[in-house]
Amino acid sequence: MNLLSESISPLLTSDKLELLKAHKILTSLDFVQYNNDKIANLIGQNVSEIIKIKDQILAANNSKSLRADKLYEIILKRTTIIKSGIDMVDKMLDGGIPSGRLVEVFGEPGSGKTQLALQLTANTALKQQQTVCYLTTSDANAERILEIMHSLQEDADHLNGLERIHFCYVNDVYQLMEMLWAPGMREYKLVVIDSLATLFLPIRGDSFNDAISLLNKVASDLKRLAVVHQCVVLTVNHVSRGPAEGTASTPTPFLGRYWCSVPNLTLHSKHLSKDEFQLTVVKNIYSPDPGPKCSFRYFFRSRVDVKNEFKSIYPHI
C-alpha cells in the first residue's frame, strides 16, 4: 500500500499526518492494521470516522472481481493470431501463434531459424498490417524482408510493410533487458530476438548462480512483455549437444535445462535439402517422441529484381 496522504481522506489533514508519522504510522497498511481506538485518540477523531477512512483505503486497494465470461471476452478482443504466411506451418500451429505467447525456434547453423523469424516478421507487417520490433545481434537485412514480402503478395504496398518493421541492434543482455521495459514496446504485436543465445555467450563462463539469476530475469521480462502487451515474443536459439543436454540424435536448445520450461512453444528447425526445411513442435526435449512436424519450402523473388526495387525505394542507401 501507498504512503498516507491528504488525498486518501479530507479528515487526514497535514497536522494529523504528522502525528501519525511520529508514531510510525506511515503507510495505508500501517493505518489499517493499527487499533481504531488508539488512532481516534491520537488524532482526535471519532472511531466511526477512523473506520470510514479504513474502508476507503481498503476499497481503493482491493482488486475487483470479474466474471469469467467477461474476462474471456476481454482476452479475445486483445488476442491477435500471428501467422507465418506458409500454409503448412500455420496449419501445424492450428492457424498461427496467439498473442501473449513466448515462442522459441532453435536449430543448427543454416537450419532456417532466422529465415522463419524473417518470414513471420514480413507476413505480420505486410499482410496482417501489425508493427514488429526485430532485435538483432547482427546486421539487419531489409532486402531479405522485401524478398519475402514479394513471395507473400506481389501487388502489395511493400513500402508500408517495411515501415511497420523496426530493427534495433542489441549489444549485450543488459541492453536487452533495458529495451524490454521501454514504453514503446507496447506498440508491437511481434517482438523478435535474434539471437538470445548470442547475448548469453559472453557470460556463460561467469559464476553459475549469477548466470542463472540473469537468465531467470530475462525469462521473466520476456513473459511479462508477451502477456502484458499481448504480443508474440519470438526468440532464436542455437543447439547444444553437451553430454548432459542431449545427444547427436536429440539436439536441445543452447540455453540449457533451466531455459527449456520457459517458452510456451518450442520449435526445432532443420534443413532437409537445398530448399526444403522441416519444423517440429518440441513438447519435451528429454522425450524421444517428437511433436507435430511439417516440411516446407521458402520461395523468393529474384534477388536482382528485389535489389533494384530496394534502391528505387531507398535511393539514399
- 145: CATH: 3.40.50.300
> What's the CA gap between 207 and 173, in Å, rounded?
16
Half-sphere exposure of 148 (CA within 13 A, CB side): 26
Residues contacting residue 110 through CB under 8 Å, at least 6 positions apart:
271
Measured distance between the N- and C-terminal CA atoms of the chain, rounded to whole angstroms: 54
> What's the CA gap between 126 and 153, in Å, rounded?
8
Please indicate, yes or no, if residue 162 is contained in any of the structural domains: yes
Say yes or no: 233 and 289 in one domain: yes
Place of cell 507435430: 292
265-271/276-281 β-pairing: antiparallel
Question: What's the pLDDT score for residue 248?
Answer: 46
Q: Which residues pair with 236 in a beta bridge?
A: 105
165-169/190-194 β-pairing: unpaired
Q: Which residues pair with 166 in a beta bridge?
A: 133
Say yes or no: 195 and 227 in one domain: yes
Supply 294's cell numbers.
511439417
Say yes or no: 93 and 21 in one domain: no
> What's the CA gap between 158 and 151, in Å, rounded?
11
Say yes or no: 50 and 97 in one domain: no
How many domains would you assign to the chain?
2
Last residue of a domain, one of 6, 27, 61: 61
Say yes or no: 21 and 142 in one domain: no
> What's the CA gap between 43 and 134, in Å, rounded?
57
Say yes or no: 266 and 291 in one domain: yes
> What's the CA gap between 107 and 117, in Å, rounded?
13
Walk along the chain (317 residues) and give the pLDDT tens digit of each residue: 578 888 888 888 999 999 998 988 888 888 998 999 999 999 999 999 999 999 888 888 776 777 888 888 888 888 999 999 999 999 999 999 999 999 999 999 999 999 999 999 999 999 999 999 999 998 878 888 999 998 898 888 899 999 999 999 999 999 999 999 998 999 999 999 998 888 888 776 556 677 788 889 999 999 999 999 999 999 999 887 655 444 445 678 888 778 888 999 999 999 998 889 999 998 876 666 778 999 988 876 555 455 555 555 555 55
Please indicate, yes or no, if residue 2 is contained in any of the structural domains: no
Say yes or no: 37 and 172 in one domain: no
H helices within the chain, ranges in order? 14-22, 28-33, 36-43, 47-61, 68-78, 87-92, 113-126, 142-152, 158-163, 173-180, 196-200, 208-228, 257-260, 303-313
Residue 58: CB atoms within 10 Å: 12
Please indicate, yes or no, if residue 7 is contained in any of the structural domains: no
> What's the CA gap between 71 and 68, in Å, rounded?
5
Question: What's the pLDDT score for residue 315?
Answer: 56
Question: What's the pLDDT score for residue 246?
Answer: 44
Please indicate, yes or no, if residue 143 is contained in any of the structural domains: yes
Please indicate, yes or no, if residue 302 is contained in any of the structural domains: yes
Say yes or no: 151 and 185 in one domain: yes
Q: Name the 3-class secondary structure at 134.
A: strand
DSSP letter for 3, please.
B
Report pTM: 0.72
Please indicate, yes or no, if residue 67 is contained in any of the structural domains: no
Residues contacting residue 22 through CB under 8 Å, at least 6 positions apart:
none
Say yes or no: 21 and 134 in one domain: no
DSSP letter for 10, please.
T
Question: What residues make up the domain containing 104?
Answer: 73-313
Please indicate, yes or no, if residue 118 is contained in any of the structural domains: yes
> Taking the C-alpha atoms of 76, 284, 104 and 295 in order, what is their torsion angle to the nearest 10 degrees?
-90
Question: What's the pLDDT score for residue 305?
Answer: 56
Please indicate, yes or no, if residue 9 is contained in any of the structural domains: no
> What's the CA gap between 86 and 120, in Å, rounded?
9
Q: What is the 3-state secondary structure (H, E, C) of 213-276?
A: HHHHHHHHHHHHHHHHCCCEEEEEECEECCCCCCECCECEECCCHHHHCCCCEEEEEEECCCCE
Q: Name the 3-class secondary structure at 277.
A: strand
